[in-house]
């Protein structure tokens, strides 16, 4: 996207995460000061302002959206991090054909995950979260409570810090 208009306006400097809805519309995260947002662009891409279906700002001024996951439950999970202000949170959102709404803070414990860089879902609906904070470099496994819309770590690292010597930038579950 180059200099989009409408609700996507001026999200051009850093698209930090991309996902795709079932109808193939594109979900994007944009991480740049004063324009931190997540949004929806039509599956055909962006060329005119009406191709930006919807976009919303991050929950507070400081966090950058760093990872996204469209969960099998239909919830969009967005991880937020920031090196200046200690923000290491995960929010869930409802996603419809035309909007991203109902942002709910579902997890924030920087002693477990900090500097979240990737999210992916297991076949059973549990979520893997990569943490790239220098003291961590772990992958943690979380249970998702659909009724309470909450995340809870299973208690032990899925991948221990001693295993990952470099930062994890993406996660993929393969059969």
SS (H, E, C) 44-87: CCCCCHHHEEEEEECCCCCCEEEEEEECCCCEEEEEEEECCCCE
Question: CA-to-CA distance for 107 and 118, rounded, in angstroms?
Answer: 15
**Residue 125 predicted with pLDDT over 80:** yes
Structure tokens at 92: 């869930």
What is the pTM assigned to this prediction?
0.87
pLDDT band for 164, please (50, 70, 90 cuts): low
For 140, phi then psi, to 5°, come to -110, 145
Could you tell me which residue, 60 or 106, shows the higher pLDDT?
106
The DSSP symbol for 25 reads P
- What is 6-159's CATH number? 2.120.10.30
Section 2-7 average pLDDT: 59
**Residue 170 predicted with pLDDT over 60:** yes
Section 28-46 average pLDDT: 77
Could you tell me which residue, 69 or 49, shows the higher pLDDT?
69
Which residues are CB-neighbours of 114 under 8 A, at least 6 positions away? 81, 86, 88, 131, 133, 135, 136
In this structure, the number of other CB atoms found within 10 A of the CB of residue 76 comes to 22
Q: Residue 4: what pLDDT?
A: 60
pLDDT band for 162, please (50, 70, 90 cuts): low
pLDDT band for 86, please (50, 70, 90 cuts): low
**Residue 167 predicted with pLDDT over 90:** no
Q: Residue 101: what pLDDT?
A: 92
Question: CA-to-CA distance for 43 and 10, rounded, in angstroms?
Answer: 19
Section 87-108 average pLDDT: 91
Section 102-114 average pLDDT: 90
Q: Residue 157: what pLDDT?
A: 86
């Amino acid at each position: 996207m180059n200099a989009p208009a409408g609700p996507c306006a001026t999200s051009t400097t850093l698209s930090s995460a991309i996902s795709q809805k079932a109808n193939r519309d594109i979900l994007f995260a944009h991480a740049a000061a004063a324009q931190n947002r997540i949004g929806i662009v039509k599956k055909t891409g962006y060329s005119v302002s009406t191709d930006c279906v919807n976009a919303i700002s991050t929950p507070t001024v400081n966090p950058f959206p760093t990872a996204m996951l469209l969960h099998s439950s239909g919830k969009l999970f967005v991880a937020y991090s920031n090196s200046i202000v200690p923000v290491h949170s995960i929010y869930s959102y409802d996603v419809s054909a035309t909007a991203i709404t109902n942002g709910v803070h579902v997890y924030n414990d920087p002693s477990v995950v900090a500097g979240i860089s990737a999210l992916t879902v297991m076949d059973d609906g549990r979520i893997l979260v990569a943490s790239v904070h220098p003291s961590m470099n772990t992958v943690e496994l979380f249970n998702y409570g659909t009724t309470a819309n909450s995340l809870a770590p299973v208690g032990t690292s899925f991948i221990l810090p001693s295993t990952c010597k470099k930062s994890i930038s993406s996660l993929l579950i393969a059969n």
